[in-house]
Structure 1
Amino acid sequence: MNRPSEELLHKTLENRATAAEAASVAEWLATDSGQAWASRYIGRDFDHREACGDCEQAEVDSERIFTRIKSTLTRGRRRRILFRVAAVVIPVVLVLGVALRLDRQVGGIFSAAEYDEFVVDRGRRTQCLFQDGSIAYLNSESKIIYPVKFGLFERRIRLEGEAYFKVEHNTRRPFVVEFEGGEIRVLGTSFNVKAYRGDDIVAVTLDEGRVVLDGRSGSFELTPSEQLLYDRRSGEGRIVRVGDAMRYSIWKDDVILFRDTPLGEVLETLSRWYDVHFEMTQLPPQPISYTFTTDNTLLDNVLHEMELISPVRFERSRSEIRVSFR
């Protein structure tokens, strides 16, 4: 079938064509070449919407186009059938065209989402840059699982371990950090999450911005310089004010900081930091806590300082470090 003239096509869409002219246009729109033209015609409106940034946009009014054609058609059986074909085909072309464009931009609409995994071994720290510009600093023995392309309506990752996030602000696509027992919703902020698999308490410390943790028993909203201690077993949480929130994420600058920290927690941190195993041969005669700061120095130096300020003794072997008390 011959392609109608450009003048006749626009005349029909503008409701100025006769019934016979509109019927011939509808018949052509049901062909492959007609569908391609309709897709390009509607696509021009969509391209214009894409170029408008964040300004408020109106939807592409395909129904208005179909109504114009329909209003000029006669009640003849053949023409009604042709119009039904065109009216079904054009919306499909429009929807597929728009969806394919979005799929190329953000992924995950038609194809199954692809995920990558980033694992940080014991004794190492690193950082990961996401496609939206957000950054995650990962502490030792941590893992994140993230999509190759973020979704259309949210940016979701999964964390096991400890990470410090600097999230790019995007109100339309919140950043979600999922962990076992809950998730944290973020619009744009900087915060630290400590959620190692063996820890019952998840610690979320906020530097700036706003985050909301959704747990089993409700939601907890944090403001800057607040820390949430969330029990993932019971779903209960406690928010406390912290004088210096940055000290909870100073590890990303290769600095270890302990402030009135029990011996067991100190040894666990050093174990991850230096990839060593501590074996405690006996219990301490009394509770021991540490308050000190050190940069990324040799482990032997750290252990020597601990021996000087407390009644603890460390003995190295090939596979472990034995802990005893004087």
Structure 2
Amino acid sequence: MIRDERTLSRLLARLSDGEYHSGDELGECLGVSRAAVWKQLRKLDELGLELETVRGRGYRLRGGLEMLDSHKLEKALSAETRSAISALEVLTTTDSTNSRALERAALGQTGYVCLAEHQSAGRGRRGRPWVSPFGRNLYVSLNWSFDGGASQLEGLSLAVGAVLCQVLERQGLAGLELKWPNDVLWRGSKLAGVLLEMAGDPAGRCQVVVGVGLNLAMPPAAAKQIEQPWVDLGTVCDQEACSPPERNALAASLVEALVALLAHYHQAGFALWRDQWQRRDAFHGRPVKLSSGTRALEGIAQGVDETGALRLDIDGERVICHGGELSMRAVS
């Protein structure tokens, strides 16, 4: 299985230039037979990659593909960030990058960063699936240790959203908004999501896994699986007249920013990020509905408090709502 994955990775690296490559050339490059090449090529279709075949010319990936490269990523990180992380791994395919980070956390490893080209079982909040087509978006997870228990993590998912906005704004994007507690929106459509999971002792030393999914160039076939308004970075850049960033460069900027956030979060917590979040609040002053199972609340969203909890005005009474399994939507 590991050998097959390495062969697939090498095949994709060869085809990533978007040019035609013959079966003989691919077989020689990979050190396998033509039959083995064909077996690997069939996997590309299973991954949703559009492979063109022309007799006499060979095979190509239409439009090419910028593969994630761990060496490029590490080289782009600052020396401080490289010293703060224990490992950075790029997987061709996995069930979930958060699952890999949780496994490392269970082994006591902290500062582990995992990226993947494809997730077969990517997940968002409340057990929802995260559509994860191959090589087109970013799926990033990292784990981090905190000695003060879960109380130190208050508001962290909101801070991650604010950091993600800052990273994208430095790329020239405008109009980004945040939906409590963990979504990044553009013109009301979801561009990115955050999933936090915890392991260890909630009252003592614990580890948090921060997972980020960011839509870069969502293929139409994969998009049919998404059950809410969405947008990808390519569409945003077309509208904002900015150039889409290179995938590796953007991934490195995101890792750099997340490590800096986690390394210092225990000092000031969400207080340092509250204003950053509130100035991007997509629902401030708007009627919203919060639901969890059979329970529901309706009121006017009034921003967040110092812990990241939502402040809801219900008939003139202020109600404080903590994240957990709550889901929020606008009320028309």
Give the TM-score normalised by structure 2.
0.25
| Bigger fraction of residues in strand | 1
Question: Looking at CA atoms only, which structure, 1 or 2, has the larger radius of gyration?
Answer: 1
Looking at both structures, which has the greater relative contact order when contacts are Cα pairs under 8 Å and sequence separation is at least 6?
A: 2
TM-score w.r.t. length of structure 1: 0.25
